[in-house]
Structure 1
Amino acid sequence: MAEYPGRLPLRVEIIPGSGIVEALQKHLPTPAVVTITCLPHHGAEETVDLAVRLADLGYQAVPHLAARSIASRGQLTGFLSRLQAAGVSDIFVIAGDGGSAAGPYAWSGHLMEDITSISGGTFALGAAAYPEARPGASAAELTDVLLAKQDLCSWAVTQLCFSGPALVAYAAELRTAGVTLPVWAGVPGAVGRARLISLAARIGVGPSLKFARRSMTGAGGGSLVRGVLGPSSYDPAPLVRRIGESGDFAGLHVYSFNNLAPISRIFTVG
């Protein structure tokens, strides 16, 4: 189990799909905090449906709402009404992938404004943060976007990152830039080798994965080599310890990729 100073709060991200509720009930007991992705191929309605179901079961559900996936202000109003009735208090707001917007929201900031207006400010909103930038936008540009949304948010979550030093340096950069939001460190769970490499290439986290490879020399290097490049799964324990020691983060946001069985073994749950 990954032990770390202060036992940072834990959130586990899942993807809607067949059997996910049963897997959660088996491996992650209530009232765990579970965040639910909003991907283009399943849309916001499936995310909201799952968030309501999990909240009814006793989980602290945090749905992701992607601006480009919302078809209208009326649809958004319906989603928010259902989430409020279920007792959901937090929403992670992103721009979303894909080309053209399905409705009036092309930018997450505009969606945040309408969520606050419609709900009367009852939801705590989260924003995305990018320690390794992303295709088409520099780190400085993305920090400026986060600053522009800061007054609408209550917290931020970093993109998946494999490097403790990179995350710690990024937290310091955000503070220097004027970002005062609590930041959750986005870390991988136990990810299989092939999928890890594929994800790193697709979402632009190559630099921190390269850092992990470079750090494989010296004491403990063999185990890290096996963890990242071997046939088994990546071991996030060294990364988690570095984050906990830094004292810079509000908690851990674990990208589980629906591999829930190792969560309680790897992380301190509860």
Structure 2
Amino acid sequence: MEVVPAEGLVQRLRASLPAPAVVTVTCLPHHGPREAVGTAVDLAAAGYTVIPHLAARSVADRAELGRYVALCRDAGIADVFVIGGDAATAAGPYAWSGALMEDIADLSGGTLGMGVAVYPEGHPGTAEDELARTLRAKQGLASWCVTQLCFSPDTLHAYPSRLRLAGIDLPVWAGVPGPVRVARLLRLAGSIGVGQSLGFLRRSAGGSETGSVVRQLISSASYDPAPLVAALDGAGYAGLHLYSFNDLAGLAASGMIRA
């Protein structure tokens, strides 16, 4: 389950999802990797299996990265999730995630596993063939990948096969939203880097999936991920990566996670 750094997060998480559940911690531009790693260290101390996000464009230099690697290793954190990040300009020499991954591998002596993001609906700033090329370049250092949030059952179901055809053989986890309050989903999606997936809602208006997605968001208090999750059966995913939007009480009440 993915969470956003916030005050009181450890206590709220304990009330909704018991350790040693796997929790990933986002790295937002206004928080930076220091906040993500600090939150991850706190969660690790509380007994969780934690994966902090490290955004390449938010890391100032190799020395700063070395401090994050050391903090992770000292806390018993075994994996990090490496992204390029949404910062308008790079804070240091890491303009893309592949360069950061090379230094993480060197600084950790290969002891830190690394996950990377993949994009079932594409990326607004990168062509499809370029996405595939850079992913092939990174997969020698990566251990797994996670899809960015996607609302389209057909697109998400077909994506593992598309990756294999592109020469990507990493285990892939399907990024899906939890049963989050719709107002919160719409408000926060852009700020945590998954706003582009909401374009599917606009594209599907008037299409065959209007009833299953658009009408639901208009008429319901909460998004129901059940149809999306059901569509993943047999697609070849390693598992689910749940975007919580920190709506932990709502997730616990839904029965999708259990305290």
TM-score past 0.5 threshold: yes
| Distance in 2 of aligned mates of 1:105 and 1:160 | 24
Shift, 1:207, TM fit: 5.0
Aligned-pair CA distance for 1:129 = 0.1
Deviation (angstroms), 1:114 = 0.3
Aligned to 2:122: 133
Which residue identity does 1:48 align to in structure 2?
Answer: V
Match of 2:63 in 1: 74
Q: Which residue pairs with 2:135 in the alignment?
A: 146
CA distance in 1, matches of 2:158, 2:70: 39
Q: Of residues 8, 12, 16 in structure 2, which corresponds to 1:23? A: 12
Q: Which has the higher contact order (CA 8 A, sep 6+)?
A: 1
Q: Contact conserved, 2:180 with 2:251, CA < 8 A, in 1?
A: no
- 1:214 aligned to which of 208, 211, 214: 208
Distance 1:206 1:104, change over 3 A: same
Q: 2:233 matched to 1:233? A: no
Match of 2:93 in 1: 104
Deviates more, 1:224-233 or 1:129-138: 224-233
C-alpha displacement of 1:141: 2.0
Aligned length: 253
Q: How does 1:78-227 map to 2 (within 5 A)?
A: 78-197=67-186, 203-209=195-201, 210-211=203-204, 214-217=208-211, 227=216
How far apart in 1 are the matches of 2:10 and 2:200? 32
Assess if the C-alpha contact under 8 Å between 1:184 and 1:252 holds in 2. yes
Matched position secondary structure for 2:139: helix
Structure 1 residues 120-169: Cα deviation after superposition (integer angstroms, max 9, x where no partner): 10011001100111212222321221111110100001010112210121
2-side partners of 1:94 and 1:194: how far apart? Answer: 27
Farther-moved stretch of structure 1 (185-194 vs 153-162): 185-194
| TM, length-normalised to structure 2 | 0.90
Displacement of 1:71: 1.3
Change (3 A) 1:262 1:200: closer
Determine which of 226, 232, 254 is the counterpart of 2:242: 254
For the 8 Å contact 1:130–1:139, the answer to whether it is kept is no
Query: Aligned partners of 1:86 and 1:199: how far apart in 2?
Result: 29
Aligned-partner Cα distance in 1 for 2:79–2:127? 28
Matched position secondary structure for 1:77: helix
CA distance change for structure 1 residues 138 and 191 in 2, over 3 Å: closer, same or farther?
farther
Question: What code does the residue aligned with 1:162 have?
Answer: F
Cα-to-partner distance string for 1:29-75 (whole Å, 9 max, x where unaligned): 11111000001111111111111110011000100000011111111
Q: Give the alignment partner of residue 46 of structure 2, picking from 57, 68, 72.
A: 57
Q: Separation in 1 of the partners of 2:37 and 2:226? A: 32
SS in structure 2 at match of 1:152: coil
Distance 1:237 1:135 in 2: 27
8 A Cα contact 1:132 1:207, kept in partner: no
Q: Distance in 1 between matches of 2:11 and 2:215?
A: 31
Deviates more, 1:112-121 or 1:190-199: 190-199
What SS is found at the alignment partner of 1:61?
Answer: strand
Q: Please state how far the C-alpha of 1:231 moved relative to its aligned partner.
A: 4.3
Aligned amino acid, residue 250 of structure 2: P
Once the two structures are TM-superposed, the CA of residue 198 in structure 1 deviates from its matched residue by 5.0
Which shows bigger deviation, 78-87 or 131-140? 131-140
Give the deviation of 1:215 after TM superposition: 2.5
